[in-house]
Amino acid sequence: MNILLKNIHAITCDGNHEVLYNTNIGISDGNIVFVSDQEKDIRQFQADRIINGKDKLAMPGLVNAHTHCSMTLLRNFANDLALHDWLYNHVFPAEAKLDQEDIYWGAMLGIAEMIRTGTTTFADMYLFMDGVAQAVCQTGIRADLSFSPLKFVVGKPIDETHLCRTYHRDWNDKADGRIKVSVEIHSAYLYDEQSLKNAAALAKELKTGIQIHILETERERVETIEKYGITPVELCDRCGIFDVPVIAAHCVHLSDSDMALIKSKNVSVVHNPTSNLKLGSGIARIPEMLERGINVALGTDGAASNNNLDMFDEINLAALIHKGANMNPILINADEAVRMATVNGAKAIGYEDRLGTIKQGMKADLILLDIDQPHFYPLNDPIAAVAYAAHGLDVDTVIVDGNILMEGKELKIMDLDLVKHKVKEISKRITNES
């Protein structure tokens, strides 16, 4: 389908803080074919659909670079607890009751929430990932899905390397290229040294990347140093993890030497400000990472520790907490925060050549915000408006791969009432709550 977004304002995220006013965006075969204010470009374009851009602001679709999509099933459950207690005494026991169909319905709910709040691509790690892949295929969203070569049953690891290979074979580059498959390593503290080496070797074999949690808590640092005599970052490097592209979630407690190593290995860090605050994990040293040239993306983490998947909340918080914590109002400006959720996220998953900016030749993964609302007036600086004023539910239209997944705030890709009903039933079973 050829789509014309006509007379629309646009944040391009092209690196020059560029905002276009009353421009036109042509979409064909899933790609942006022109961005122009020239009448001749519009006349030459045969549009099947014209979307009036009046009172709309276009921007690249958001990239949620770290989440556990199906943890929507555990939303609003086991709150206000320390990470170790939350994870081992509440989350893991509930997760032990899940099956693949449960994960599918949890993913459907998570995808509905992400699309409604402007996320067009997400990086995911969780259980029964075939269910997540099926939901991605059905809904039209884009995803980097990771599969763990180890399964943990009552804390004991079971080797599932063969299943990881099978998952990669079955799903990588499927759904018209919208699915990318990587290797999941939950963390250095759940894996032993040999398992870390094996997972790194598997990623190399599959020619793919790794998603991993690193230094979410100070406890992880202390225990790893006690066990190995080195930090989790140094352990990952020693085991070959950083020899492939890595998405490292959290990274709250990096030392200066850890940051230098991560920079030298081109590791992408994912900042999860809401989750880190809720679990009392701390505040990552994001301004210093950016100053060192580390690629920093944004993520929500799972809905069990957030408790939503709204990336506009993360943009806003990322643009604010570092100013307050460091008593410096120039840290993480609006443009940097927005780029963390777009360009940097695309780079984290290896798609910077196709996602994250609005320009000719990029994939048509776009969102339109309804800016005809009091909190957008006056629109003096659209980038600042996105960082400091916008909410996820301001998203009016979502386009992924040139397909309209939501328009006029109406989801076009699922029966949301059915999804909510299924999730409610599952949640009662696994949490024993009414």
Report residue 433's pLDDT band, with 50, 70 and 90 as the boundaries. low
Predicted local confidence at residue 434, as pLDDT: 39
Q: Phi and psi of 171, rounded to 5°?
A: -120, -20
Residues 64 and 123: beta-carbon distance below 8 Å: yes
Residues 297 and 268: beta-carbon distance below 8 Å: yes
Q: Which domains does the chain have, with CATH numbers?
A: 3-60+360-411 (2.30.40.10), 62-348 (3.20.20.140)
Describe the crossing of helices 100-116 and 129-139 by its angle, rounded to 10 degrees: 40
Predicted local confidence at residue 87, as pLDDT: 85
Element of type H or E holding 407:
strand 403-407
Residues 361 and 390: beta-carbon distance below 8 Å: no
Predicted local confidence at residue 155, as pLDDT: 64
Residues 383 and 60: beta-carbon distance below 8 Å: no
pTM above threshold 0.85: yes
Tokens 């893991």, located at residue: 92
Which are the contacts of 418, defined by CB distance < 8 A and separation ≥ 6? none
Q: Phi and psi of 56, rounded to 5°?
A: -125, 150
* Paired tokens of 122: 């997400």
Cis peptide bond upstream of 378, omega within 30? yes
More confident: 16 or 66: 66
Q: What is the mean pLDDT of the chain?
A: 96
DSSP one-letter string for 197-236: HHHHHHHHHHT--EEEEE-SSHHHHHHHHHHHSS-HHHHH
Report residue 417's pLDDT band, with 50, 70 and 90 as the boundaries. very high
Predicted local confidence at residue 84, as pLDDT: 84
HSE-CB of 369 using CA atoms within 13 angstroms = 30
* pLDDT (average), residues 284-297: 98
pLDDT, tens digit, 9 for 90 and up, residues 352-381: 999 999 999 999 999 999 999 999 999 999
HSE-CB of 99 using CA atoms within 13 angstroms = 3
Report residue 432's pLDDT band, with 50, 70 and 90 as the boundaries. confident
pLDDT, tens digit, 9 for 90 and up, residues 29-48: 999 999 999 999 999 999 99
Name which of 262, 265, 313 is nearest 290 in CA terms. Answer: 262
Distance CA 302, CA 335 (A): 25
Find the length of the chain: 434
